[in-house]
Chain A
Amino acid sequence: MQQLLEEVDVVIVGSGAAGSLMAARLAEAGQAVVILEAGKQRRSSDLVSSQIWARKLKWDGEPVVDEGQHPIGYHFNTGRGTGGSATHHYAVWPRMHPEDFSVASDHGKGLDWPIRYRDLRKHYDLVQKEVGVSGDAETEHWRPEGAAYPLPPVPTFAQGRIIARGFHKLGLRTSPVPLGITSQPYRGRGGCLWDGWCDAGCPIGALANPLAVYLPRALKAGAELRHESCVTRILTDTSGQRATGVDYVTADGKTRTLIAENVILAANPVQNPRLLLASATKHHPQGLANSSGRVGDYLMSHPSVSIYGLFEEQTENFLGATGGQLLCQDGYEKNRHGQQAFGSFQWLIAQAQKPNDLLGYANCRPGLFGSELTAFMQQASSHLATMTSVCEGLPLASNKVRLSTQRFDSNGVPLAQVSHRFADESLALAEKSRQQGERIFEAAGAQEVWSSRVNSMHIMGGTIMGNDSGSSVTNSYGQTHDLPNLFIAGAGLFPTSGGVNPTFTLHALADRAADRIANA
């Protein structure tokens, strides 16, 4: 007997930041939406306060071959299961700046976006009201135009005050960092307790992860979320002109098919291109939506340096949110950093600290062992302060996601093979930030100052948007140039990275795209 195929209006691949917003919008617009999530179900009650348990939220799917001179740190920088990486993200939510959208036109570097800040502004405003962003628009001197924050800013604790001293001595400005965290109760969600457990996931719903805001809305409006449903292939019709749905594999190992009017890929900037490339057909021999040959190209990350200092005073570094207390974007002007460096950078200042894990303070001094390590831990728990630069990583066509020719997952899909290096100008920018950061800590009175190597923070690009179908994968709505009912959502669309964290912007983009799909 022939199996009846299930049909919906929209299938969304991935329940993370982009997928859950899309699902909420489209379900609320009356569409039949199914979200397919590869990972396991996570409820708020699973978000146990432990940096060891927190690792359950990290990527636990098929490995990614993470190569190149500066690997993107895929297995740290992603998550899997309900809410994706966003379930344990730190909710630092600054807006991109108008100049981020036109770097190629203005400076001959990187790529222009097909839209400008003014196209996103109302979407930033709407999203910030829905999720409850906390901040202080007045002291955030660099902030692009937009509605004032709906919630008052994060408080500044001792660590923030101590570091701010150094900024102010050098004539640099600070403001409260904008956070997608409720500084007081908001729309039925509790206010933040400033206990620094964001990396383990915020079980009280203060942090705007998908579990707290958009997934409940999506489910209430009738969307269905299926866990342990790993999409393995995007299907197309016989003419190769339209996507018809997806194949996905469930926990019992069975392959199922879901037919949909619209297919939205919101997996992540590595898994989206992997799926497109792995769905090649005779009409699309290079992979779906890849007539430009650009699927997988321009993968980006933010080069980032952490500054550490030991102070005489008690820094109370256990207080606050993991994302930090203060912000400085005085380094945002792109061509102010000398001949070698290019781009914008910002400081995220005074992150709440935990002793263990990759970002814990045990790891900030990797050369100490034995009794020296023990002594350092005692000192650091009371006297350590830290801040982190987020620097623009210019897009390079040579930074790619490709399919491995040698290795396959248990469903027979080739593994993603990623190659990434930072552009020389981006690395030079990170070094500039290091020099400035160390000077700031010295000016703040640190007894000892040191810094990390350059790390990769956030993953962007890989399915970039653009006006030209010959050099980009989608238009400004994430609609693929080749298949009009196949959309991509998430930071994979960014043609350049700017010097700010990406998640607020990818929400704004998804909101804009959802409007378009709902009203088509």
Chain B
Amino acid sequence: MGSLAFVVGNKTLMLTPAQARAQNIPFQVLSDKHALTLHHVAELTLPGSTEAGVVHFIDQQLSRPADECLLMIRYLGIEAPYREFYLNALVGFEVSAQQMFGANFHALERTQAQELFNQATRGDPSGWQGPPAPFFLFVLRADASDVLYGTQAGSEALSIPYMAHIEPSTNW
């Protein structure tokens, strides 16, 4: 798995997402609770995307000025800043989890989380607040595909040649 650049204080560290988690590298935009919810929703969206670093990817991109943000949302007709879009949707999952099952999203049974998630793919689950849930999942699915498949490692996992003219110095 490729390393990512994490800015801690005034230092830039090159770490894998797993190392970043082990070292408790702080998130810059997401609260720990948001990050936990995002972790669980992303893993239901595309298994393996959390190990590939989707939570840190989103957090890093949201912390950049809008014109440097590389999330696909930038050309989906949503205006910057994008953090509200993500944070409001994560709150939506929390509120719906409480309303439907009386628990935090990350603490739901697998079948409960899957049920809420499935509802969110089709429309807003009960109690939902935030941007339209299916649209949020479309965006998150693109982010998850970026980190899992949009890299040299991702190409190898799909058994296709990457054939870079200029290799990216970091995954993003």
Q: Are A377 and B158 in contact (CB under 8 A)?
A: yes
B159 cross-chain contacts in A, Cβ below 8 A: 381-382
The CA of A101 and the CA of B21, in the complex, are separated in Å by 61
Question: B164: CB under 8 A from chain A?
Answer: yes
| Complex contact B145–A355 (CB within 8 A) | yes
Contact assessment for B166 and A203 in the assembled complex, using a CB-CB cutoff below 8 Å: yes
A64 CB to closest chain B CB, in angstroms?
9
Q: Which of B79, B142, B151, B162 contacts A358 (CB 8 A)?
A: B142
Residues of chain B within 8 A of A224, CB atoms compared:
none
Closest to B117 in A: A369
Is A45 touching B166 in the complex (CB atoms < 8 A)? Answer: yes
Which of A69-77, A118-126, A174-182 is the interface stretch? Answer: A69-77
User: Is A442's CB within 8 Å of the partner chain B?
Assistant: no
Distance in angstroms between the alpha carbons of A381 and B162 in the assembled complex:
12
CA distance A71 to B75 in the complex (A): 12
Per the 8 Å Cβ criterion, residues 34-67 of A in contact with B are 45, 47-53, 55-56, 58-61, 63, 66
| Chain B residue contacts of A47, Cβ below 8 A | 165-166
* A347 contacts B by Cβ under 8 Å: no
Given A50-B168, A52-B70, A362-B145, the answer on whether A318 and B45 have CB atoms closer than 8 Å is: no
Residues of A within 8 A of B22 (CB): none
Please encode chain B, from 54 to 83, with 1 for each CB lying within 8 Å of some chain A CB and 0 for all others: 000000000000111011101111011000
Taking a contact as CB atoms under 8 Å apart, the answer to whether A381 and B160 are in contact is: yes
Tell me whether A357 and B121 are in contact (CB under 8 A).
no
A60:B163 contact, CB within 8 angstroms: no
Q: Which residue of A lies closest to B120 (CB)?
A: A369
Most buried by B among A48, A363, A369, A377: A369
| Chain B nearest Cβ from A245, distance in angstroms | 27
> Contacts A52-B70, A362-B149, A363-B145 hold; do A374 and B47 have CB atoms under 8 A apart?
yes
Question: What residues on A are CB-neighbors of B164 within 8 Å?
Answer: 48-50, 197
Whether B172 contacts A52 by the Cβ 8 Å rule is: yes
Closest to B168 in A: A50
Is B137 in contact with chain A by the CB < 8 A criterion?
yes
The listed residue (B75, B79, B145) touching A76 by CB distance below 8 A is B75
A255 within 8 A of B: no
Number of A-B residue pairs, CB cutoff 8 Å, is: 136
- Bound: A354/B161 CA distance, A: 10
A52-B146, A55-B70, A356-B149 known; A371 and B75 CB under 8 Å? Answer: no
Q: Which residues of B contact A56 (CB under 8 A)?
A: 68, 70
CB atoms of A48 and B48 under 8 A apart: no
Bound form: Cα–Cα A73–B74 in Å: 11
With beta carbons under 8 angstroms apart, the residue of A45, A52, A354 that contacts B171 is A52
Size bracket, chain B contacts: 35 or more
Query: Is the C-beta of A188 less than 8 angstroms from some C-beta in chain B?
Result: no
Do A49 and B141 have beta carbons less than 8 Å apart? no
* Residue A12 CB within 8 A of the other chain: no
Beyond A51-B150, A52-B70, A374-B46, whether A356 also contacts B145 by CB under 8 A is yes
Is A146 at the interface (CB under 8 A from chain B)?
A: no
- Chain A interface mostly: loop
| Residues in chain A near residue B172, CB distance under 8 A | 50, 52-53
The number of chain A residues with a CB under 8 A from chain B is: 47
Shortest distance in angstroms between A129's beta carbon and chain B's nearest beta carbon?
26
A370 touches B150 (CB 8 A): no
B residues less than 8 Å from A59 (CB atoms): 75
Q: How far is the CB of A168 from chain B (nearest CB, A)?
A: 28
A355 in contact with B165 given A63-B79, A75-B75, A374-B48 (CB within 8 Å)? no
Q: In the complex, what residues of B have CB within 8 A of residue A29's CB?
A: none
List A contacts of B149 (CB < 8 A).
Answer: 355-356, 360, 362, 377
Cα A369 to Cα B47 with chains together (Å): 9
**Which of A195, A354, A369 is close to B137, meaning CB atoms less than 8 Å apart?**
A369
Nearest-neighbour CB distance to chain A for B137, whole angstroms, equals: 7
User: For residue B67, which residues in chain A have a CB less than 8 angstroms away from its CB?
Assistant: 60-61
Expressed in whole angstroms, the Cα–Cα distance for A204 and B164 within the complex equals 11
CA distance A52 to B138 in the complex (A): 16
Residue A378 at the B interface, CB < 8 A? yes
> How long is the Cα–Cα vector from A47 to B167 in the complex, in angstroms?
10
Q: Is the CB of B171 within 8 A of A193?
A: no
A366 CA to B140 CA, complexed, in Å:
11
Residues of A within 8 A of B163 (CB): 49, 193, 195-197, 318
B1 within 8 A of A: no
Q: Is the beta-carbon distance between A355 and B150 smaller than 8 angstroms?
A: yes
Q: How far is the CA of A169 from the CA of B80 in the complex (A)?
A: 49
Q: Mark A358-391, 1 if CB is under 8 A from B, else 0.
A: 1010110011011101100110011000000000
Q: Is the CB of A52 within 8 A of B150?
A: yes
What is the CA–CA distance of A377 and B164 in the complex, to the nearest angstrom? 20
Given contacts A63-B79, A75-B74, A356-B150, contact A362 B142 (CB under 8 A): yes
Question: Is B132 on the interface with A (CB-CB < 8 A)?
Answer: no
Contacts of A307 in B (CB 8 A): none
What are 24 contact pairs spanning A and B, CB under 8 A? A49-B165, A51-B146, A51-B150, A52-B171, A53-B172, A60-B66, A63-B79, A63-B80, A195-B165, A318-B161, A355-B155, A356-B149, A357-B72, A358-B75, A360-B149, A360-B150, A367-B121, A369-B45, A369-B46, A369-B141, A374-B48, A377-B149, A378-B158, A381-B159
Which B residues lie at the A interface, using CB under 8 A?
44-48, 66-68, 70-72, 74-77, 79-80, 117, 121, 137-138, 141-142, 145-146, 149-151, 154-155, 158-169, 171-172
A residues apposed to B, CB below 8 Å: 45, 47-53, 55-56, 58-61, 63, 66, 71, 73, 75-76, 193, 195-197, 202-204, 318, 354-358, 360, 362-363, 366-367, 369-371, 373-374, 377-378, 381-382
Give the top 9 A-B pairs by smallest Cβ distance, nearest first: A356-B150, A362-B145, A49-B164, A355-B149, A75-B75, A195-B163, A381-B158, A60-B67, A76-B75
